[in-house]
Chains A and B, each alone.
Chain A
Amino acid sequence: MSDLAALRPERAVGVRETFGIDSDLVVPAFAERDDHVPEVDAAYRFNADVTLAILAGFARDRSVMVQGLHGTGKSTHVEQVAARLNWPCIRVNLDGHISRLDLVGKDAVVLREGRQVTEFQEGIVPWALQRPVALVFDEYDAGRPDVMFVIQRVLERDGRFTLLDQNRVLTPHPWFRLFATANTVGLGNLNGLYHGAQRLNHAQIDRWNIVATLNYLHPQEEAAIVLARVPALADATLAATPGTRLVDAMVAVAGLTRNGFAAGDLSTLMSPRTVISWAENVEIFRDPALAFRLAFANKCDDAERPVVAEYFQRCFDRELDAAGAAH
């Protein structure tokens, strides 16, 4: 086994200092940074509830599922927490074609001393299980429900993992952690937004100890995130009208599209990720309306554009495009 398996968390980190969250919690952290530890994004802003849930997962060995709409930064959240704890972290993107063999391992033909031999190669689950690694299943609800039963045992407390092909029973490493992110709560694609999301087995959902929900943030928090990502946006010459911040208007438009989506007026909505790419486009084009068209309006159906133009007018006090005034 590699050095990785020998690592132990040796430090304790205060949540208040590291994450800026008002809590006395102290969590274990690793002293040295392994290759598997994600990069720290200094601009990242933590959501208090979700961060505490994830930290509970790291500190107390709970399996944590983060659920929320797309673009809210679920996976990044787990990654950034791991980055600050120097905890090695592996992200696995699930899709409809991941099979049991991919996760557990399979016999493969390898060259050994110039001869072909068949050898068992561990899949990602047994590999991670034996190391102090945070394993993150992204898009958990895109995995086939029957395949996901592979991790059923691991989800249980002190769950050992039996490798049937090898007649071996693996005991999880004491610092192995399991996380998942999903767009839905396992009920399938209810609103037509998440094509490919599967209905999950509820016996399995039940085994996740903590389910945290990360949905859209308070406008001020969102504005702060966008500004942290694209500092050039604070440039006063870009402001929608004198005395206001451009970023507030942008976040307000995003809020309207989310309400519009909930009411069925739009079939897409602006995620924080869309707002950030809009902000980046503003930096390039120096024109919020053009950047908005490129980042979001062109993703909308023709019939929905007048509605989007109305939202834009509300927040920017100008028409989205000249033709928009001619309804």
Chain B
Amino acid sequence: MTDVQLRTRRRQRLEELGAASIRALSGERDLHFRGHRLHRGREALPWWAPHLHPDADEDDLEAFRGAADGLALRLARSDAALHRRLAPADAVQRAFFDLLEQFRAESLVPEGMPGVRRNLHKRHADWSLAAYHAGYTDSSAGLLVYTVAQVCRARVTGEPVVEETEDLLEATRAALAPALGTALAGLRRERHDQAAYAVHACAIARHVAALLAAEGAASGTPRPADLSERDAARSVFGLIVEDEGDTEGREAVVTGGHARVLEAGATPYRVFTDAYDRLAPATAPARRGELEALRDRLDRLVAAEGVNLPRLVRELQAALAVPRVDGWEGGREEGRIDGRRLAQLVASPAERRLFRAERVEPHADAAVTFLVDCSGSMKAHAETLAVLLDVLARALEQAGAACEVLGFTTGAWSGGRAQRDWLRAGRPPQPGRLNEALHIVFKDAATPWRRARTALAALLKADLFREGIDGEAVDWAAARLGVRDEARKLLLVVSDGAPMDTATALANDPQYLDRHLRDVVARHEVRGAVAIQGVGVGLDLSPWYRRSHVLDLGGAIGHAMFREVLRLIARG
């Protein structure tokens, strides 16, 4: 596994634990991390304060704990609507106001949770020291912001300021004291009353923002008039918090931007032409002999893995099966009298096995679909993926669950015939999706694994892998699942990146397909008939999928990887 993948997985694990803690502490259910930001449902929660956003590369579990506790208390102890109403209009003032409200929430640790208090304290100290050592307090504006943060938090929570920088604060603190004395005293006193506290917080924010503005005027850095909330927080705390902009570049996270066309609201997602779209069984585009050769190769690969299939089947059964009454079991020594055996009683009075009882059998009432992204970059993982899916399809079938293996790609590179049509039509603006979508059925639920063997081998066919139009494919796979009778329907989308189609991206805008994928996934998540999970191949898919998991296909397969997939199936 590459270094980047390792970091991505570690971060995802930390965020999952953090999100679980936040849900438990705040009592809100619909919270999760998406692209490293906490979301409630589909809506991203505000940025709030700089120390709530630790960096997975430098910070450890403790930092994530502190951040999670801070977020949870903010959710539990602060009324967001009231906060919005009381917030000052000016962006810089609002940034301070936000921070002070965060301190208030952090001072209200519930009874019996000393660990939370310590995590919060530790997080604050670490964040402060990181800022200090990075030299942000060297400028006078930085020192001012830093001092206000330290002094206010110490006042509200009643904890001492960070010892190492205490001397540093002295001068600024003394200068602030006359103007802010009353407000600072009020912070601690009113910390149980959000509205009363806000009055003092506003006063402090106003005063500090004025000082900062004077500072800015002196150093000659003009402030842009319309800052977004996050930018304002950055412009204030940018002095003391590392800009996230460059960390996103380093990590294997694809951050979706805003799609211009869809944002405008006028044009919904559309397809320029579906004349060339195809739905094909995997065997169709291949020569007969070719697939058999590939199957041969796949068989050798599977054999080399030495997977313990019965064990996998057992575990799948445990994860999926529910007990169901299924007929009767005769010949028992207790239960209900079995009428057919009475004659036997007459013939042999000593016979005691005359009873029957209802038989309860585990029954896997579930359908699992694997939707594989067959875009060019997935070619590198084709072998591992083929082995994984081949074994899982077989195991699921033996466990009694229905299983489909589907794939999506495009019929051509760079738009193919659809793009030629568009050019011929005189390049009308915003044509929508512009390629030949190709949906492939490697194995459908009705085909047993034995008969789908050859088709599954097509996963190894390198020339299938072209571009990827994810949104429509997810819709298609979910619709196929939707008409099935099973009680549990699970769709696992295996992908290694954002939807990518060059022609569509050029003709519309780069985020067009990306946005559609989000919409489709969100729609299915809300509807809830099909449980969708993103399986990222070394990549965090959380920007699109509410539930996602990072899988490492780089190394050996082994039972550990099956267990990971199994856990995904179990929780779906």
Contact = CB atoms under 8 A, between A and B. Distances in A.
Interface of A: 195, 219, 240-241, 244-245, 248-252, 256-257, 259-260, 262-265, 303, 306-307, 310-311, 313-318, 325, 327
Given A259-B25, A264-B29, A303-B567, A251 B112 contact: yes
Given A257-B24, A259-B27, 17 more contacts: A219-B111, A240-B114, A241-B114, A244-B112, A248-B112, A259-B25, A260-B20, A262-B29, A306-B17, A310-B65, A314-B69, A315-B113, A316-B115, A317-B114, A325-B61, A327-B14, A327-B17
B23 A265 contact: yes
Interface string B52-78: 000000000100010001000000000
A259 B20 CA distance: 10
A315 B116 CA distance: 7
A249 B112 contact: yes
Contacts of B20: 260, 263, 265, 307, 310
Contacts of B23: 259-260, 263, 265
Contact of B115 (A251, A262, A264, A314): A314
28 contacts: A195-B323, A240-B114, A244-B112, A244-B114, A245-B112, A249-B114, A251-B112, A252-B111, A256-B25, A257-B24, A259-B23, A259-B24, A259-B26, A260-B23, A263-B28, A265-B20, A265-B24, A307-B20, A310-B65, A313-B119, A314-B115, A315-B112, A315-B113, A315-B114, A316-B115, A317-B114, A325-B61, A327-B17
Interface string B458-497: 0000000000000000000000000000000000000000
A248 B115 CA distance: 13
A307 B68 CA distance: 13
A263 B16 CA distance: 13
B426 to A, nearest CB: 53
Contacts of A252: 110-113
A263 B29 contact: yes
Interface string B7-25: 0000001100100110111
B118 interface: yes
Contacts of A310: 17, 20-21, 65
Size range of the interface on B?
A: 20 to 34
Contacts, number: 80
Majority-rule SS of B interface residues:
helix
Contacts of A325: 61
B123 to A, nearest CB: 13
B61 A316 contact: no
Nearest to B116: A314
Interface in B14-54: 14, 17, 20-21, 23-29
Contacts of A317: 114-115, 117-118
Contacts of B323: 195
Majority-rule SS of A interface residues:
helix
Contacts of A316: 114-115
Contact of B113 (A249, A264, A265): A249
A61 to B, nearest CB: 37
B65 A313 contact: yes
Contacts of B25: 256, 259, 314
A263 B174 CA distance: 48
Given A262-B29, A265-B20, A315 B115 contact: yes
Contacts of B24: 256-257, 259-260, 263, 265, 307, 311
A99 to B, nearest CB: 10
Interface of B: 13-14, 17, 20-21, 23-29, 61, 65, 69, 110-119, 323, 567
Most A C-beta atoms less than 10 A away, residue of B20, B110, B111: B20
Most B C-beta atoms less than 10 A away, residue of A256, A307, A310: A310
A11 to B, nearest CB: 41
Most A C-beta atoms less than 10 A away, residue of B14, B25, B26, B115: B115
Most B C-beta atoms less than 10 A away, residue of A259, A263, A264, A265: A263
Contacts of B118: 317
B73 to A, nearest CB: 11
Contacts of A315: 112-116
Nearest to B357: A97
Contacts of A240: 114
B17 A314 contact: no
Contacts of B13: 327
A264 B571 CA distance: 9
Nearest to A313: B115
Contacts of B65: 310, 313
A240 B389 CA distance: 48
B443 to A, nearest CB: 28
A302 to B, nearest CB: 9
A252 B115 CA distance: 11
B112 A327 contact: no
Contacts of A250: 112
Contacts of B114: 240-241, 244, 249, 315-317
A25 B113 CA distance: 40
A233 B11 CA distance: 39
Contacts of A314: 21, 25, 69, 113, 115-116, 119
Contacts of B61: 325, 327
Nearest to B109: A314
A317 B21 CA distance: 14
A141 B450 CA distance: 45
B69 A248 contact: no
A315 B117 CA distance: 9
- Which 10 residue pairs across A and B have the least CB separation, nearest first? A248-B112, A252-B112, A317-B115, A263-B23, A256-B24, A263-B29, A314-B115, A259-B24, A260-B24, A241-B114
Most B C-beta atoms less than 10 A away, residue of A195, A307, A325: A307
B20 to A, nearest CB: 4
A71 B178 CA distance: 57
A254 B111 CA distance: 13
Contacts of A307: 17, 20-21, 24
A191 to B, nearest CB: 13
A263 B23 CA distance: 7
B432 to A, nearest CB: 37
A325 B119 CA distance: 14
Contacts of A327: 13-14, 17, 61
Nearest to B323: A195
A252 B13 CA distance: 24
B217 to A, nearest CB: 46
A98 to B, nearest CB: 14
Nearest to B22: A263
A131 to B, nearest CB: 32
A257 B25 CA distance: 10
A307 B27 CA distance: 15
A249 B117 CA distance: 13
Most A C-beta atoms less than 10 A away, residue of B27, B114, B116: B114
Contacts of B115: 313-318
Nearest to A315: B113
A162 to B, nearest CB: 26
A64 to B, nearest CB: 30
Most A C-beta atoms less than 10 A away, residue of B21, B113, B117: B113
A262 B23 CA distance: 9
A139 to B, nearest CB: 18
Contacts of B112: 219, 244-245, 248-252, 315
Contacts of B21: 307, 310-311, 314
Contacts of B119: 313-314
A327 B115 CA distance: 18
A167 B288 CA distance: 80
A177 to B, nearest CB: 33
Given A259-B23, A313-B65, A248 B111 contact: yes
Contacts of A262: 27, 29
A237 B262 CA distance: 63
Contacts of A260: 20, 23-24
Nearest to B32: A263
A43 B567 CA distance: 44
A90 B111 CA distance: 40
